[in-house]
Amino acid sequence: MIDSKQIQPHMPVVCSQGGQFAVVDHLEGTDQIKLARDDSGQHHFIPLSWVTTVDDKVHIDRPGKEAMKQWTTSS
């Protein structure tokens, strides 16, 4: 189980292939991570359940392209 308190604003979000595809804005509620705005100015959300580990980065369980297809634009 991931300790959500380890997830901090501005941490890189890294996909299962090792590449960074987003940055944490903040935690939204108890089960969502709000990501910093992308180039189009849009926030996206990913579920905390995708997170596999947290060190100096937030690591998720899927490739970046898949994550970007599945993320949401509202919590």
pLDDT digits (tens, 9 = 90+) for 33-46: 999 998 889 999 99
Query: Rounded CA gap, 28 and 21, in Å?
Result: 19
Q: What is the pTM of this model?
A: 0.92
Query: Rounded CA gap, 71 and 67, in Å?
Result: 6
SS3 47: strand
Beta bridge partners of 39: none
Q: Which residues contact 20 (CB under 8 A, 6 or more apart)?
A: 12, 13, 14, 57
Backbone angles phi, psi at 57, to 5 degrees: -135, 160
Domains and CATH numbers, the chain: 4-70 (2.30.30.240)
State yes or no: pLDDT of 55 exceeds 80: yes
pLDDT at residue 75, rounded to an integer: 62
